[in-house]
Amino acid sequence: MNRQVIIATKNKGKVNEFEALFASLDVEILTLLDMDDAPDVEETGTSFEENATIKAEAISKMSGKIVIADDSGLVIDELDGRPGIFSARYAGENKNDEANIDKVLLEMKEVPEEKRTARFFCALAISGPNMKTAVVTGKCEGKILNERRGTNGFGYDPIFYVIEAGKSMADLSSDEKNKISHRASAMNNMKPVIEELF
The residue type of 108 is M
Map residue 17 onto helix, strand or coil: helix
Contact 185, 123 (CB under 8 A): no
Q: Considering the candidates 71, 77, 80, 175, report the single residue annotated as catalytic.
A: 71
- Return the closest-CA partner of residue 193 out of 133, 121, 130: 133
Rg, C-alpha atoms of the chain: 17
Residue 71 falls in the annotated catalytic set: yes
> How far, in Å, CA of 17 to CA of 182, rounded?
12
> How far, in Å, CA of 51 to CA of 171, rounded?
29
Task: Please give, one letter per residue, the 3-state secondary structure of 26-66.
Answer: CCEEEEHHHCCCCCCCCCCCCCHHHHHHHHHHHHHHHHCCE
> How far, in Å, CA of 21 to CA of 36, rounded?
25
CA dist 77 → 51, 83, 143 (Å): 21, 10, 10
The residue type of 39 is P
What are the catalytic residues? 71
